[in-house]
Amino acid sequence: MSGEVGTTAPAFNLLDTDGNEFNSSSRAGKKTVIAFFPAAFSGVCAEELCSFRDALADFTAVDAEVVGISIDGRFANGAFRDANNLPFAILSDYKQTTIADYDVVWPDFAGMDGYTTARRSVFVVGTDGNISWKWLSDVPSDLPSIEDVQAAVNAAS
């Protein structure tokens, strides 16, 4: 499975910061922005997710939900969420199955041999459950354009 535009978005069932299961099927019929990020508490990740936070009203105005996913444990994700006042779900893919399903595995991240994390990437899933847009970073410090994500959400079916 992989997260290619035009294909059905891979399903996932991950823990949120409170230990509750978040099942992607609960979003059936709604638009979803999935933001994979490499590491809680890194400056670039905080900047990215705070950008989504600051634009959240624009996403909710078109009934789109934002979800952040990292391989960090739910406790670190919870502290990261609280420290940055993030009002959307931050999910833990500690088993790394979802990053594999979306083909956003980043092995040996930041030159750390054996450390695998999520590639910074954004997917827009339309109401039909298909991936309508994606953005992938080739450099960990690159950030997605929130305006491009908003345009993709607005254009999604």
Q: How far apart are CA 30 and CA 2, in angstroms?
A: 20
From the candidates 39, 45, 71, 125, give the one annotated as an active-site residue: 45
Q: Which amino acid is it at 43?
A: G
Helix axes 146-155, 43-54, angle to 10 degrees: 50
User: Are the C-beta atoms of residues 91 and 68 closer than 8 Å to each other?
Assistant: yes
Residue 107: CB partners within 8 Å, gap ≥ 6?
A: 115, 116
Calculate the dihedral angle through the C-alpha atoms of 36, 23, 126, 117, rounding to the nearest 10 degrees.
Answer: 10
* 45 is annotated as an active-site residue: yes
Residues carrying an active site annotation = 45
